[in-house]
Amino acid sequence: MFNKVSYRQGVIEGMVLFTLGRLCALIDPIVFPDLAYVIAPLLFLTLQYLLAPFWATRRITSTKRERLSKRFWLLGPRLAGLCIAIDFVITLAFGMPISNVYGSQHGSAFVRLLSHGANALSWADYGLYEAKSVALLVTFYTMAVLCTRLAMGGFLRFTMPAGGNRVTL
């Protein structure tokens, strides 16, 4: 009942989940109390890297016999490409996500790239961040889409060749 959306709608929903996770990753974990200090950033990473491709793949309707067609092989890289564009815009407009590498939020990456001083961002650091993001998104999204699609398509089912009465496990 809930898994009946078009390919385009599934991709849009995946992009919305990624965007939500990416924007929430801008929040400094210090604002969260006690246990939420640990759980909130993990939830934001889950939204970005795991839930978005899983949700998009689960929601797309397909025929009963379709397992891994060309459109599902391309869903992971296509969704990753669109999310990379969103990440690029969010990073330039609002800043990099809070992490151990980048520390606290220092503002827009665009402004930091053009400035000099303590909060300046070098082109090499920015390029390294974007390269890491591209590699992680393409890898995780492709794996998540393929594994989710295989799990939905019944790749674990097989028929035992037992004479007239065949048994499907």
**pLDDT, tens digit (0-9, with 9 covering 90-100), for 138-162:** 999 999 988 888 877 655 555 555 5
| Alpha-carbon span 7 to 27, nearest angstrom | 31
| Predicted TM-score (pTM) of this structure | 0.81
Domain range annotation of the chain: 7-168
Q: Chain-wide mean pLDDT for the chain?
A: 81
Q: Tokens for 146? A: 């393929």
pLDDT digits (tens, 9 = 90+) for 20-40: 999 988 888 788 888 888 888
Q: What is the pLDDT of residue 2?
A: 63
| Alpha-carbon span 90 to 86, nearest angstrom | 6
Are the CB atoms for 133 and 48 separated by under 8 Å? no
At residue 15, does pLDDT exceed 70? yes
Residue with tokens 């490409």: 81
pLDDT digits (tens, 9 = 90+) for 84-104: 999 999 988 988 887 655 556
